[in-house]
Chain A
Amino acid sequence: GAVVSQHPSRVICKSGTSVKIECRSLDFQATTMFWYRQFPKKSLMLMATSNEGSKATYEQGVEKDKFLINHASLTLSTLTVTSAHPEDSSFYICSARVPGITDEQFFGPGTRLTVL
């Protein structure tokens, strides 16, 4: 299947700082990527849909000014957690759909964010 990578795999930062997470489609072009967040022992929650060349669409309750999404190319989307707080500590996962394949969605390995 198609490969989606994320960087970094884990990051620890101080409260108040910003953290950028990258999501790349390695062997295909993705016009649409998705960002999820997962708290311990919980399911994945969709945060936003990232569209190449246009603004992201955020789910209800997700602050767009706090979670900045940029999808500048067909292979890269970035999520920046601004002014991070301990409650932003979570597992962030991106995914992308492969054009032309019946609705399969491929996921990155996730990024573990810990805010101290």
Chain B
Amino acid sequence: DAKTTQPTSMDCAEGRAANLPCNHSTISGNEYVYWYRQIHSQGPQYIIHGLKNNETNEMASLIITEDRKSSTLILPHATLRDTAVYYCIVRVGNQAGTALIFGKGTTLSVSS
């Protein structure tokens, strides 16, 4: 699976959009970009994933550059409850029986 690079930490004001970047310059054509987050002392939570096109769901939007070498997770209106570690993971889709491998992620701190 391709390696990802994320900033160690980011701050965001409550109510503002939080834009979390991820670099994955060695991504291959059949690899998806997944985003998970982990709130303190809880299990990780799935947020969103995509292959080429931008994706949006009730939690967030995922913007993938045309060359697919980087992506941005957008939380449109961050709240205090969005404070968490956000993990960007790149892997081939539909790999039955294989686990997600986590990097260090970005610690997002949302403050009022």
Residues on A lying within 8 angstroms of B by beta carbon are 1, 4, 6, 31-32, 34, 36, 43-46, 49, 51, 91, 93, 95, 97, 99, 102-110, 112
CA distance A69 to B31 in the complex (A): 30
A95-B101 contact, Cβ under 8 Å, with A32-B96, A103-B49, A103-B94:
no
A108-B41 contact, Cβ under 8 Å, with A32-B96, A43-B102:
no
Pairwise interchain contact A91-B41, C-beta atoms closer than 8 A: yes
State the main secondary structure of chain B at its contact with A.
loop
Among B43, B97, B102, residue most surrounded by chain A Cβ atoms (within 10 Å):
B43
A32 CB contacts on chain B under 8 angstroms: 96-97
B112 CB → nearest A CB, Å = 24
B49 CB → nearest A CB, Å = 7
CA distance A93 to B38 in the complex (A): 12
Chain B residue nearest to A35 in the complex (CB): B99
Total inter-chain residue pairs, C-beta < 8 Å: 62
B95 CB contacts on chain A under 8 angstroms: 103
State the main secondary structure of chain A at its contact with B.
strand
Pairwise interchain contact B97-A51, C-beta atoms closer than 8 A: yes
- What would be 10 A-B contacts, judged by CB atoms less than 8 Å apart? A1-B46, A31-B97, A32-B96, A34-B99, A36-B102, A43-B104, A95-B100, A103-B91, A105-B100, A110-B42
Chain B residue nearest to A44 in the complex (CB): B102
B49 CB contacts on chain A under 8 angstroms: 102-104
A21 CB → nearest B CB, Å = 13
CA distance A4 to B41 in the complex (A): 16
Among A31, A36, A103, A105, residue most surrounded by chain B Cβ atoms (within 10 Å):
A103
CA distance A32 to B95 in the complex (A): 11
A103 CB contacts on chain B under 8 angstroms: 32, 34, 49, 91, 93-95
A102-B104 contact, Cβ under 8 Å, with A91-B41, A107-B43, A107-B44:
no
